Chains A and B, each alone.
Chain A
Amino acid sequence: MNRGVKVLIILLAVATITLGIIALSDTYRIGQREEIDWNLTLLGDEEKVLTYDEIVAMPSYEGHGGFFTTVGMKNGPFRCEGVPIEDLCNLVGGIGPSDTLWVSAPDGYMMVFDYDQVMGDFTTFDPDDLREVSHGELSMILMYEQDGEILSDDDGKPIKIAIVSEDELMTEGSYWVKWVNRIEIR
């Protein structure tokens, strides 16, 4: 075999092995869940503190959703995975029709939701032109994975509120509280 051809084959082999190692190391990294030190305080009839791992271990819900800012900047829609807020409320006595839900974060941000919203009653918008559109069943979740990845710091790592459904719809961004560390039923 010509020497040049041999060199080419060797180069290709080295490249293939290198790519293989990179792919394997990525798989290994994904396989290992990052340790996240984060507590969520739930306050209802009783108080409960959940770690990030305990939240992730709860039965999850997956749907699609995105949001836009007050000036119309669009984010998403994304594939969102997390725990239904109603399930979290049920851990501390549940939420009733006359209750409100106060969600806050350590950056000093707070948002208040009524019972209907916790049950999925939000105005939804078309992702293309942001015109109001009707929707099927919506769920308000505490999201920990976005498009299959844990959240980035800017996106509210490790947990944020998301409003999701089977369809790819948008909701107002003020509801998508980032870095949630306290949920209180009043």
Chain B
Amino acid sequence: MKKRSIIQLALILLVCVLLVSIALTQDKDQDKEKIRVFYAGSLIVPFEEIEREFEKLHPDVDLQMEGHGSIQVIRHVTEIHEGVDVIAVADSSLIPDMMYPDYAESYIEFATNEMVIAYTDDSRYADEITEENWYEILKRPDVKFGFSNPMLDSCGYRTLMVAQLAEIYYENQTIFEDMIGCNFNPPILVNEKNGTYIIVVPAIFEPDTKKVIVRGGSVQLLSLLEYGEIDYAFLYKSVAEQHGLRSVDLPSEIDLGSPEYEDTYEKVVVQLGFQRFSSADIDRIGKSILYGITAPSNAPNKDIATEFVEFVMSEEGQSILHEMNQPTLDYT
């Protein structure tokens, strides 16, 4: 009798242990509403904070955040047909171009940025570089610099725009070729037509010197700077500040950060070497950097997605972006 009781007790305990184990291994977020937010890679730092604060206000929501290049963010909705609740991109014009009318009806411009030359204390000529001489410093034979691939990253094609706009601003027609063009084979051609400069990126975009390093995304340039493998990198100002880097602010006429110079920026077009995405045009026209956000028409959780967009646009959301060194638009 005693033995039987022990066995029964052991069986009951075993069942209890199994049930408790199953309960413990369940994802504690399982019951939360999952909201997918896809955003441009340059928003990683501020959107981590936005995520934290939004989830504090909505404990029943689990934000699932994913960073990509801006075009790829949109393709996840329009071509890969994933259920995405909110998209935020580093070029607001991509939303009407790629999502209207089937996948979006409107969008909001919520942030801006500008291009800078980022560097560290250890960069060669760190104490010499200024807004006036940066392109001369970058041309020096012992200086290495990097930028992201214009085929893959908006910061990459914006780098080429900056170099060409510099020729106009500094009235020096050798800047693009001597600083960037001469390091590539096949070459990057620049054709002038009626006052517009068209930069033609070859299908195979590879430097043939050690002076320039190209990476798929601008975020990858950060570690190259950190380890001293390059001296300078073309980055968004927000990214440079978020990672504690020094930077040269460029004149407003060339930094792509001032809407009042839109006419100047439009004088430069980057034509990509091949149509990497069938839904995206190969021409990138110079314009001021404006970030756009929207909840796609087919967002699985439209109501909470709209709340998220409203939070980003709210005083609190905009203040978080500011604190994280992400410049915002003044809506006051």
What residues make up the interface of A, taking CB atoms closer than 8 Å to B?
2-5, 7-8, 11, 69-73, 100, 102, 107-114, 129-132, 172-174
Contact = CB atoms under 8 A, between A and B. Distances in A.
A5 B7 contact: yes
A70 to B, nearest CB: 3
Interface in B151-169: 151-153
A121 B67 CA distance: 28
B204 interface: yes
A109 B7 contact: no
Interface in B216-251: 216-217, 219-220, 223, 227, 229
Nearest to A123: B215
Contacts of A8: 7, 11
Contacts of B79: 107-109
B274 A131 contact: no
A174 B3 contact: no
Interface on chain A toward B: helix, strand, loop, or mixed SS?
A: mixed
Contacts, number: 81
Contacts of B216: 70, 172-174
A65 to B, nearest CB: 16
B292 interface: no
A110 B275 contact: yes
Nearest to A115: B204
Given A71-B67, A73-B66, 11 more contacts: A3-B4, A4-B4, A4-B8, A11-B11, A69-B68, A70-B68, A108-B75, A108-B279, A110-B275, A110-B276, A111-B276
B21 interface: no
Nearest to A114: B204
B227 A131 contact: yes
A6 to B, nearest CB: 10
Contacts of B41: 70-71
B181 interface: no
A100 B276 CA distance: 15
A70 B229 CA distance: 19
Range for the number of chain B residues in contact with chain A: 35 or more
Contacts of B148: 70
B108 interface: no
Given A70-B153, A112-B274, A131 B203 contact: no
A5 B220 CA distance: 64
Contacts of A111: 276
Contacts of B220: 70, 72, 130
Interface string B295-307: 0000000000000
Contact of B68 (A71, A112, A172): A71
B277 interface: yes
B173 to A, nearest CB: 30
B190 to A, nearest CB: 21
Nearest to B11: A8
Contacts of B66: 73
Contacts of A131: 223, 227
Nearest to A110: B276
Nearest to A121: B206
Interface in B1-48: 3-4, 7-8, 11, 41, 44
B150 interface: no
A4 B44 CA distance: 61
